[in-house]
Amino acid sequence: MIEVEHLTKRFGATTAVDDLSFTVRPGTVTGFLGPNGAGKSTAMRAIAGLVRPTSGTTRVNGRPIEEHAAPLTEIGTLLGTPAHPGRTARNHLRALAATHGLGRARVEDVLRLTGMEAVANRRVGTYSMGMAQRLGLAAALLGDPHTIMLDEPINGLDPDGIVWVRHFLRGLAAEGRTVFLSSHLMSEMAQTADHLVVIGRGRLIADAPIAELLDGVGETRVVVRTPDADRLAPALAGRGVTVTSVAAGELEVTGIDAAEIAAIARDHDVLLHELTTRTASLEEAYLSLTDAAVDYQAVPAAAAR
- Distance from C-alpha of 136 to C-alpha of 132, rounded to nearest angstrom: 6
Spatial separation of the C-alpha atoms in residues 153 and 10, rounded to whole Å: 26
Q: What whole-number distance in Å separates Cα of residue 265 and Cα of residue 252?
A: 14
Q: Does the domain spanning 221-278 belong to CATH 3.30.70.100?
A: yes
Query: Strand 2-11 to strand 55-60: parallel, antiparallel, or no bridges (unpaired)?
Result: antiparallel
Residue 297 has pLDDT above 60, yes or no: no
**pLDDT value at residue 295:** 60
CB-based burial label for 35 (10 Å; 0-12, 13-18, 19+):
buried
Average pLDDT, the chain: 90
Torsion of CA 89, 90, 96, 100, to 10 degrees: 160
pLDDT digits (tens, 9 = 90+) for 209-261: 988 887 766 667 899 999 999 999 999 987 878 899 888 899 999 888 899 99
Instruction: Enumerate residues 6+ apart whose C-beta is below 8 A from 6.
Output: 19, 20, 21, 55, 56, 57
286 or 298, which is more confident? 286
Q: How many CB atoms lie within 10 A of CB 19?
A: 14
Helix or strand run (H / E) with residue 132: helix 129-141
Percentage of the chain beyond pLDDT 90 is 69
Residue 303 has pLDDT above 60, yes or no: no
Q: Which of 117, 148, 160, 158 is nearest to 135 (CA)?
A: 117
pLDDT, average across residues 178-184:
94
- Spelled out in words, what is the top-level CATH class assigned to the domain 2-210? alpha beta
List the domain boundaries for the chain.
Answer: 2-210, 221-278
For position 216, what pLDDT does the model report? 63
Does the pLDDT value for residue 102 go beyond 90?
yes
